[in-house]
Amino acid sequence: MAERICGICSDAHTTCYTQAIEDLLGIEAPPRAKYIRVIIAELERIHSHSLWLGIAAHEIGFDTLFMYLWRDRETVMDMLEFISGNRVHYAMNTIGGVRRDIPSEMTPKIKDGLDFLEKRIKYYIKTISSDRTIQKRTVDVGILKPKDAIELCAVGPTLRASGVKNDVRRDDPYAAYDEIPFNVVTHDGCDVFARIIVRCEEMLESINMIRYALDHMPAGMLRVRVPMAVEPNEAVSRVEAPRGELIHYARSNGTARPERYKVRSPTLANIPALCKMLMGQHVADIPIVLAGIDPCFACMDRLALIDVNTGRKKILDFNSLRENIRRMRGNCP
Amino acid sequence: MSIILEAIRQIFKSPITLKYPFEKTDVPKDFRGRPVWNMQKCVGCGLCSRVCPSGAIEMIGKGLKAEIKHYVDRCIFCGQCSESCPRNAITMTDEFEHAGYDREKMIYEYRRES
């Protein structure tokens, strides 16, 4: 069910969830399962970043690039469907390992797909860096200085595009990321153009990581046996989702159901930085600046109102929010 | 500029899209479509309805007399039921077209033939 939080980074949520629960249970996924988790996570990163790149191209009115990007994105979607049995919700992770293997017969087909993607992404990087339309619309738009980025707790590619080298995969390695060599891509541009370049180069980096993981995948079990009883405890798990650092928190009280579960999605962390980016911008640039953080509003669709004077907290659901808006508007139907 | 060349090159290629309701793409081998119960193999242990994360499987009755009700509108197609079934009575088919206007029509019932 954790997968249904997001349709784009569904694997990041399940990885984070299973890691939190594995931590609670005191078990660890076998090495092969960890490698498979990395492969799926990186394929998902390619798919999410190319989706975002298409959206960004669409927001600046460059629909030709949007169409071509999404055409090539089908390759990675087909690869994911081929490995896991579904295009969007892969259902690969389970508590204690993964559910499906990537047998050696699949490797050549995956590598062919990766070769194609690498060629295309390199072409897009060339196009984006030489195209005047993109340059005019993105360079020096939505500036986020490194100091502000750190102060406002930006995460993921938004933070890395401000020149800050920060990546959960490197800083707090989970799954098999401590065994796979990779570079943390950063850019000093601090603007939307830097965010585009960072995401493009991350895709190339992901391709190399998948190739390495496919070649060095250890043999062995896919999952370990899960104990039925959970001790009262609490666990925090961090994962580098395509949009940035994702945090899941779980607390158990000795029963089969969690006592408390909390998800901090990367979009929520990037929203304060967005306010800074929008300062002094043209109205016409708002869509691309907003799209620049790769927002996923479904992930952060929670609202808590805190009255500063009394300190009282109130959580609004959709219906009561609508009621309030109606009351404010007066006699609107 | 190079995107213009790409666009011109594309004019001479066939379209990448398919005329969907008439042409369909191949479904990969281990695709997770709608699960189907084989009631000859089912022993009515109820494991599928217990493991289902979205509560899409209802079991009416017990043991060898049990009937299965599968709510496709709630199903998330994770394949956990077919994985857990001790008798391999559940198979994931390659059906993927489940959209419709009526939720009542999205309930599949599996009865035993006596």
Residue whose entry in the numeric block shows the structure tokens 């000795």: A254
CB within 8 Å: A89 and B77: yes
What count of other Cβ atoms lies within 10 Å of the Cβ of residue A54?
21
Inter-axis angle of helices A10-25 and A31-59, nearest 10: 150
- Indicate if A203 and A314 belong to the same structural domain: no
Residues A187 and A273 in one domain: yes
Lowest mean pLDDT among A1-5, A31-35, A77-81: A1-5
Angle at Cα B79 formed by Cα A236 and Cα A91, nearest 5°? 35
Cα four-point dihedral sign B14, B17, B18, B21? negative
* In a shared domain, residues A99 and A244: yes
Paired tokens of B47: 């494991």
Number of domains in chain A: 2
Say if the Cβ atoms of B76 and A89 lie within 8 Å: yes
Same domain, residue pair A178 and A319 = no
Entry pTM: 0.88
Same domain for A313 and A188, yes or no, is: no
Domain boundaries B28-97+105-110, corresponding CATH code? 3.30.70.3270
Whether the complex's predicted ipTM surpasses the cut of 0.95: no
H-type alpha helices, chain A:
10-25, 31-59, 63-84, 107-130, 132-138, 146-151, 156-160, 168-171, 192-215, 266-278, 286-292, 318-329
Considering only CB atoms, A4 lies closest to which of B1, B28, B76, namely B76
pLDDT per residue over A256-314, tens digit each?
788 888 888 888 888 888 888 898 889 999 989 988 888 887 776 665 666 777 777 66
Say yes or no: A288 and A307 in one domain.
no
Please answer yes or no on whether B32 and A100 come within 8 Å at the CB atom.
no
Per the domain annotation, does A314 fall within a domain?
yes
In a shared domain, residues A196 and A252: yes
Structural domain contains residue A298: no
Is residue A297 a part of any domain in this protein? no
pLDDT at res. A19: 92
Residues 6+ apart with CB under 8 A from B20: none
- Please indicate, yes or no, whether residues A84 and A158 belong to a single structural domain of this protein: yes
Domain span holding position A319: 303-333
8 Å CB contact between A240 and A17? no
Q: Provide mean pLDDT across the span A50-58.
A: 92
A323 and A178 within one domain: no
Contact A46, A123 (CB under 8 A): no
- Binary contact (A89, B7; C-beta < 8 A): no
Residues of B in contact with A126 (CB under 8 A): 2
Angle at B73 between CA B67 and CA B76, to 5 degrees: 95
Q: Do B77 and A86 touch (CB under 8 A)?
A: yes
- pLDDT one-digit tens code per residue, A102-152: 888 889 999 999 999 999 999 999 999 998 888 988 899 889 999 999 999
On whether both A151 and A243 belong to a single domain, the answer is yes
Q: Same domain for A168 and A310?
A: no
Q: CA–CA separation, A56 vs A43, rounded Å? A: 20
Asked if the C-beta of B79 comes within 8 angstroms of chain A's C-beta atoms, the answer is yes
Of B10, B28, B80, the CB nearest to A85: B28
The reply to whether A170 and A37 lie within a common domain is yes
Domain ranges of chain B: 28-97+105-110
